[in-house]
Structure 1
Amino acid sequence: MKLVVLGLSLSSSWGNGHATTFRALLKSFAARGHEILFLERDVPWYANNRDLPNPAWCELAFYSDLEDLKRFTAAVAGADAVLVGSYVPEGVAVGRWAQETAHSVIGGVVAFYDIDTPVTLAKLERGDYEYLAPEVIPGYDVYFSFTGGPTLDRLMERYGSPAARALYCSVDAEAYAPLPVPKRWDLSYLGTYSIDRQPTLDRLLLEPARRAPELRFVVAGPQYPDDIVWPVNVERLHHVPPADHPAFYAASRFTLNVTREDMIRAGYSPSVRLFEAAACATPIISDIWDGIDTLLEPGREIILAETADEVLGVLRRPAGEGEIGEQARRRILAAHTAAHRAETLETELVAAMERGRSLVERAG
């Protein structure tokens, strides 16, 4: 299969979770024998922070604007499938162009991969069409969603998607594994600043840090405001590149998973960090949302917490957290690796091609 992807970024993991998601998925998709071209908008904040400028498993090319994107018309028209990602700059226009170009060839399939589904739907509700508009959704043959559960029915029934399918984030099992490094922190958090995640981070990490000066904490990620007052026992790392994620998790007794408000409301919206930390066998303390128990079993494979007292109770109890981390690793490797997601992507794209051929045959 020839696949063209128009995504937010593949080259840079700085300030976004899209790059690591695309890297894991597309590397495994290429391993299944497929040919991939990734088209990325050339923007300065990613250009200045590229940590994968030349992937070995796909072709990566950059375009400066919509007019420059048309240089790739032949590649898009000649592809078996085109995948447009969420948060692509001028995504509505990019999506329309991809649909018109790919659908000009019989059998061409165009799909949307929403790594931000709850945020996307909240934006649509308030008329914010930054990268997706309601009238564009029916033109995508498949809507791959970061969120599963009832949201899939909503996408089909309310927004007219021909086929909405869950395609959760995943983990590259070859890149993420336990490492024998000394423990530096009792609790870690890895994530870009988000205003709606900050209250939970404050409640489940900063407040425990303030109340337990003998314990060690770390918050890693960019874009945190300068006016945040960090407790003295909270270390700040402004960026941890993906290659260093396994060592970061290995140095953590526990790591914290914090979910955005829109994703909590929608449920069934796991973060890529959840899969990565579990693959490294690092025990996870998480906030609570519908569907989390379908991924990891609370109390056995993950710890759920709502208060600082609950977090401190976990951090201060006798050692034994290793078994939770190992159980989570086994669960993730059995069902949530990039290889699993690549198989799903292939299956659904082929099914969309077959639906398109059937429509053409019936019309002819």
Structure 2
Amino acid sequence: MKIAFYGSSLLSAYWNGAATYYRGLLKALAARGHAITFYEPDAFDRQKHRDIDPPDWAEVVVYPADEDSARRVAAQAADADVVVKASGVGVFDDLLLDRVMAAARPGALKIFWDVDAPATLAEMRNAPDHPVRRALPQLDLVLTYGGGAPVTEAYKALGALHCAPIYNAMDPDTHFPAPPAPKYRADLNFLANRLPDREQRVDAFFFEAARRAPARRFLLGGSGWEDKATPPNVAKLGHVGAGEHNAFNCSPLAVLNVARDSMAEVGFSPATRVFEAAAAGACLITDDWVGLEMFLEPNLEVLVARDGREVAEILESLTPARAEAIGAAARRRVLSGHTYAQRAAEVDRLLLEARVDAGVSSTV
């Protein structure tokens, strides 16, 4: 099928945490025979910080970040069998949702793909006229980045006909063990852009751990931290390109994951970093959230902390041998059960079911 996908960016992970998710899923869907066209705005300097060239498995249309261009590319949804508007494009989101779905031809599947469902749901509960909420009864399917049953049931309660989570995963061609790089050697590495709904938890888990373990070395990667006051044993790296993530994950004793506020509250929302680190064979320490056991087994495949004190305590007791064993176990787990090829098969099943429900022939 021809899939028209309107998202933030496929080519750049700069201020765009969904890039790895898009790349893994859409590459795997293309391998299953779908023709992908990805529409992304030239916004937020992402095109100046591309991580990849346009891939051979998708056509990428980069359009100027203005209203006329958004309307023009939205009209091209008429050529597709499946039209997808993702959340968080960043410019003209409401216009794109309205115009893309209006342009969809009769028989085409209409999908909203929410990469920050807890936040979107919070907005919709307080706004009966929210554009996504208004659109739900006309959509064939809502797919989410995570959230499990709490998110899918909430979407259905607000009017979605069908809703299903498509979790993050790993691409073994992209995420794999790499030789340690001296510039990334530390006791604990953490990679995340500075965002208002994450910073308090980063303070509690990462910076507090650094304060409690002054003899340890901590590396902070990601954009927006330049003016953040940090303990002296924290080194700031700035933006770390996607091509450097394997080395970033494989060089320290351990890497840290800290969920954003809404995702930690709802649970069942593993970030891309979780699967990237596990696929690289890194020893991952994560904050505690409901549903973690669906993806990695605590103490065997991942270490779990409830605050910065516990992160520091884990570091003090963690030996290189145990870190290596945890990383190896995590890698085996994600290779067996959490690849984007498996996620794409799930999407294919959902598309087929949606076409049957809509009375559309499955031979298109």
Q: Which TM-score applies when normalising by structure 2? A: 0.91
**Matched residue, 2:186:** 185
Contact 1:142 1:164 in 2 (8 A): yes
Letter in structure 2 aligned against 1:29: L
CA distance in 2 between partners of 1:248 and 1:223 (Å): 18
Partner of 1:197: 198
Residue 324 (structure 1) aligned with residue 344 (structure 2): no
Amino acid at match of 2:301: E
* Partner Cα distance (1:11, 1:101) in 2: 25
Q: 1:224 to 1:127 in 2, by over 3 A?
A: farther
> Counterpart of 1:17 in 2: which secondary structure?
coil
Deviation at 1:305, TM superposition (A): 0.6
User: Which residue in 2 is equivalent to 1:172?
Assistant: 171
1:242 matched residue in structure 2: 242
> What SS does the aligned partner of 2:37 have?
strand
Taking the TM superposition and a 5 Å limit, the aligned residue runs for 1:226-237 are 226=227, 228-237=228-237
Distance 1:71 1:201, change over 3 A: closer
Structure 2 equivalent of residue 149 of structure 1: 149
What is aligned with 1:289? Answer: 289
Moved more, 236-245 or 304-313: 304-313
CA displacement at 1:3 relative to structure 2: 0.6
The residue type equivalent to 2:142 in the other structure is Y
Contact 1:149 1:267 in 2 (8 A): no
> Does the 8 Å contact 1:168/1:269 carry over to 2?
yes
Which residue of structure 2 aligns with residue 87 of structure 1? 88
CA positional deviation for 1:214:
2.0
1:98 aligns with 2:100: yes
Match of 2:345 in 1: 343
Between the aligned partners of 2:22 and 2:267, the Cα distance in structure 1 is: 22
| CA contact 2:225–2:236 (8 Å) conserved in 1 | no
Counterparts in 2 of 1:358 and 1:316: CA distance versus 1, 3 Å: same
Between 1:181-190 and 1:259-268, the stretch displaced more is 181-190
C-alpha distance after superposition, 1:70-117 (max 9, x if no partner)? 444674222111111011222222122222221x32x21011111111
Shift of 1:252: 1.7
Answer yes or no: is 1:21 the counterpart of 2:21.
Answer: yes
Residues matched between the structures, number:
354
**Cα displacement (A) at 1:128:** 9.7
Q: CA RMSD in A?
A: 2.0
What one-letter code is carried by the residue in structure 1 that aligns with 2:217? R
Shift of residue 126, structure 1, vs aligned partner: 3.4
What per-residue deviation string (whole Å, max 9, x for no partner) do you get for residues 176-197 of structure 1?
Answer: 1112326711111001002232
What are the ranges of 5 or more consecutive residues in structure 1 without an aligned counterpart? 360-364
Rate the CA distance shift 1:141–1:294 in 2: closer, same or farther, 3 A.
same
In the aligned structure 2, how far is the partner of 1:351 from the partner of 1:111? 13
Check whether the contact 1:7–1:38 (CA below 8 A) recurs between aligned residues: yes
Q: How far, CA to CA, are the matches of 1:254 and 1:178 in structure 2? A: 14
Cα distance in 1, alignment partners of residues 224 and 14 from structure 2: 10
- 1:259 aligned counterpart, secondary structure: coil
Quick one: structure 1 residues 32 and 54, their matched pair in 2 at CA, closer, same or farther if it must change by over 3 Å? same
Number of the residue aligned with 2:303: 303
* 1:105-184 paired onto structure 2 within 5 Å: 105=106, 107-127=107-127, 132-146=131-145, 147-156=147-156, 158-181=157-180, 184=185
Counterpart Cα distance in 2 of 1:72 and 1:199: 38
Match of 2:314 in 1: 314
> Relative to structure 1, is the Cα distance of residues 342 and 119 closer, same or farther in structure 2, using a 3 angstrom cutoff?
same
**Measured at CA, do residues 120 and 297 of structure 1 come closer, stay the same or move farther in structure 2, by a change above 3 Å?**
same
Are residues 1:219 and 2:220 paired?
yes
Shift of 1:358: 6.2
Amino acid at match of 1:224: W
Higher mean Cα deviation, 39-48 or 14-23? 39-48
- Give the CA deviation at 1:66: 4.1
1:304-342 per-residue CA deviation (whole Å, 9 max, x = no partner) reads 111333222221223312111111111111121111111
Structure 1 counterpart SS, 2:56: coil
